[in-house]
Structure formats: structure tokens, C-alpha cells
Amino acid sequence: MDFSSVRLVASDMDGTLLNTKHELSPDFFTVFNRMRSKDILFSAASGRQYQNLYNRFPGIQDEIIFIAENGSYVMHQGKELHLQQMDRDLTRDILKRIKTLPNVLTILCGKKSAYIENDDPIFVQRLSMFYDEFAIVDSLVNVDDDEFLKIAVCDLSGAEQNSYPLFSEYQDDLQIKVSGNVWLDLSHKLAHKGKALDVVQKKFGVAREHTMVFGDYLNDVEMMGEAHFSFAMENAHPEVKLAAKFMTRSNDDRGVLHVLEQL
């Protein structure tokens, strides 16, 4: 396949660029430097917090475009390119609704920090994989000194089958995405990776015909529609495989790097 026209690459992180241990291959930095020598832009597109994403790429942060919080927040070289915040009243209503659900833990994701009520060590350890900046508060409903980007629901009973159907009434007002086996993300209706990638393409003057994307889960579906070279991972959700034009190896078999090494 001829990839000579590619000018922008956007990749999801967990289940895609990272292996199942959430590790970034050391080989990535070699491939990245080769891409930059060819003036190919790279964007890390994730449900992760911006601060967490930034810290995953030591030494090259200023050369990466960060699409964080499932597209709610886009940053490049310390400058905000896009912000899609949630309505405060609606956010509080949803937080109150989630409080009534069993076996569910909640993260309120702000621009400055993430917020949690539960200080259970196991939950905090899981949280710290995706959020570098977080605070434990008495009540999420009372947090007001931030701009809210997303509510992440950790449903230990399984997000797609258990909690996702419970929020169907909000479909007209919110973007509701299953982003992992136990993760359900609620954000502004226009907040998704596809919209964020469109912002990036316009900012840097790159057409979708010259864009390549990689993803594995349902929060990557819209992004597939914004690129000619759209790749689903071998380990991807069936709906992502349907949305993508091409497929690559699994995240544990260097699927993203296997393609990027051909650029």
C-alpha cells in the first residue's frame, strides 16, 4: 500500500498504541523521529487526561498534538486548540443520577484536574493509570472551580451491558461512549475524537485523504470517518472494524508501529 501521501497520523492509546500492560514501545520514539523528518504530524488521541498524555511522551511533547478526554480538549505546544466543555447543570444532574447506581465509581474530569469521592486504594491505583492530576473531594456535585470535560464511569459489572443502557435518555444531550470494558464516558454532544481530529486537520491544513488513524474501541469510531487511511486493530471491537477501511496487527503485536514503519 502506498502511504507516501500521509501528512498526519492520529492514534488511540490504550488497546492501540500501548500494549495490554499500558506500555509504550521504546521503538515508538525511533519511528516518531523518522516521521517528523518527513514532516508527518502525530496526534495522541485518547480518553486519557491531557496531563497524563503529555507525560507519556518525554522529550517530544512539543512535537505532539494531544487530543485528550475523547476529543473534549486539544492541546499543542501548550496552546489550547479546542475545548468542548459540558453544561454545569446537566453535569450535576448526571452526577446525582450516577450516585444511585450500584457497583459504579465516578470520575469528574475537569480541565485542571480530575475529581473523585472514593479513596479506595485499588480504585486510586486504576485511576492513576489514566489521570496524573486528580483530587479526592467530599462531593463531586459541589466541585465548581473548573471546566468540566467529561464524566467517566467505572462500572465493574461491565459498561456496555450494564450502565450504558441506563443513560439512553441523555442521547440527545450528550456524547455517550463505551471506551473500555468497564468504562463509560459522558461528555458534550459534540465532543468526540472525530470532531477533534477535524479541528486539527483544519488548523494544520491536512485533508482527510492525507490522514491516517488507528483505534480499537467505540470511542474511536467517529475518528475512522475523518481519515482515508483508517486502521482498526486486530483486537478491536467489531463496530470499529466495520468503521475502518483497513486492519492491522493487535496492540500486543506492534500493530500501529508495523504500519508506521512503512511511512
Active site residues: 12
Three cell numbers written together for 152: 467517566
Residue position matching grid coordinates 472525530: 194
pLDDT in tens, the chain (263 residues): 999 999 999 999 999 999 999 999 999 999 999 999 999 999 999 999 999 999 999 999 999 999 999 999 999 999 999 999 999 999 999 999 998 888 888 999 999 999 999 888 888 988 899 999 999 999 999 999 999 999 998 887 888 887 888 888 888 899 998 887 888 899 999 999 999 999 999 999 999 999 999 999 999 999 999 999 999 999 999 999 999 999 999 999 999 999 999 99
pLDDT at res. 159: 81
pLDDT at res. 157: 80
What's the rounded Cα separation, in Å, for the pair 219 and 70? Answer: 7
pLDDT at res. 160: 83
Residue position matching grid coordinates 440527545: 172
β-bridge pairing 8-11 and 148-155: unpaired
Give the residues across from 246 on adjacent strands.
231
Nearest to 187 by CA among 141, 178, 130: 178
What's the rounded Cα separation, in Å, for the pair 177 and 192? Answer: 9
Domains detected in the chain: 8-83+191-260 (3.40.50.1000), 88-188 (3.30.1240.10)
